Amino acid sequence: MFMKTLRLDTPMEPAKALSTYGLDSLSAAEFRNWVRQELTAELTLLDVTNAPSLYALCEKIIVKIPETAVLAS
């Protein structure tokens, strides 16, 4: 989803800084909204924009997924 949000044609390097892929506040908001809807994880825009890498962002998302969402699936 992150590649789609940023409209990337090539795979991302998970350890690379997100800013190198052109992450801006609009794409961060779009991704955050997708995470909220699909994963029920409450992220802030700062969670997304301040994440140093895709790895770090995924770790933050995993921690914020409610236990009830995991049990429901």
Please say whether the beta carbons of 47 and 30 come within 8 A: no
Q: Kindly report the CATH class assigned to 2-72.
A: mainly alpha
What are the percentages of helix, strand and coil residues in the chain, rounded to 5? 60, 0, 40
pLDDT: is 47 or 8 the higher one? Answer: 47
Quickly state the pLDDT bin for 6 (edges 50, 70, 90). Answer: confident
pLDDT reported for residue 73: 57
What's the pLDDT tens digit per position in 48-73? 999 999 999 999 999 999 876 655 55
What's the pLDDT tens digit per position in 12-62? 999 999 889 888 999 999 999 999 999 999 999 999 999 999 999 999 999
Closest-CA residue to 15 (of 58, 61, 55, 49) = 55
In total, the chain counts a number of residues equal to 73
Q: How many alpha carbons fall within 13 Å on the CB side of residue 24? A: 4
* Residue that is written with structure tokens 């990337």 in the block: 8
